[in-house]
Amino acid sequence: YDPQNPTPTIGGNNLGIANGPKAQNDVEQRGDVLVFTTDVLTEPVEITGRIKAHIFTSIDTKDTDIMVRLTDVYPDGKSYLIVDGAQRLASMKSRDKLEFVKTGEIVEAVIDLWSTSIIVNKGHRIRAIVSSANYPRFEKNLNDGSSYGENGTSTPVNVRIYHNPKYMSYIELPEPEKSNSDINYCIKSDDAGFDTSPSDTSYEDNIGIDTVLNDYTDISDNNLPDVTDASVPDAAIMDESNTDMGLTDLYTGMKQDSESSGCSCNLLAN
């Protein structure tokens, strides 16, 4: 990610610029994003409640942001925005004090995508776009440790996203029937086949194989240092309402979280 050429905002919960559930296909073609897509869904699914993305990452600068956009991919290939969110790595533990991560240190960024209520239509797919910018919806991070609005120095950053058994990036999704009791549920992976192919990019679906997509590296490694714990931060809301589209919120690969009442939806299937 290069702050001088930030990943652009296309649609969303904005004022002053184009808003709404716009197609994200142009963003998905950029070299500073990672794109993950499910297989075609075999039946409609409703998801209602709070959504959070857990992204294990490391960087080679003092700081950057992790942005996640969820989209509904229609049968014609159009990828429409559902929700998005952002988390600055230096603000994961505190909103009042910046705490910079160490170069190469693996941390878990929890991105709050807030709440939505959607129907996932049969024949659609779900896509996740991971980047370090969504500008101008979110102010761009210069990656040099400066506060937003300061005259810092734009510093390019290389970002790694981890998806192995030890550091499994995933998304939490709530199921409506259980939302009143605050229990989450995940659709089993055998109910909806998932693939891990980034859009328009060749990908080897195998744990242990590194996939380099320009400035983003998608890696797996069983010999990794312990992750640094991070509290769940506040994040901005992106809630598309009053649409008649079959909006969708799943993710590539799924697993049931047996240690909590939430569901854990793996970013990448084994």
- Print pLDDT tens along the chain (270 aa): 999 999 999 999 888 888 999 999 999 999 999 999 888 999 987 878 899 999 999 999 999 999 999 999 999 999 999 999 999 999 999 988 999 999 999 999 999 998 889 887 999 988 999 999 999 999 999 999 998 777 899 999 999 999 999 999 998 878 776 545 444 444 333 333 333 334 333 333 332 323 333 344 444 444 444 444 444 333 333 333 333 333 333 333 333 333 333 444 554 433
In contact, 233 and 87? CB cutoff 8 Å: yes
Helix and strand counts by DSSP (H, E) for the chain: 2, 11
Cβ-based neighbours of 2, under 8 Å, separated by 6 or more: 32, 154, 156, 215
Q: Are 33 and 18 spatial neighbours (Cβ–Cβ below 8 Å)?
A: no
- Nearest Cα neighbor of 104 from 34, 55, 159, 163 is 159
**Burial class, 114, CB count within 10 angstroms (exposed 0-12 / middle 13-18 / buried 19+):** middle
Identify the structural domains of the chain with CATH numbers, from first to last.
25-266 (2.60.120.260)
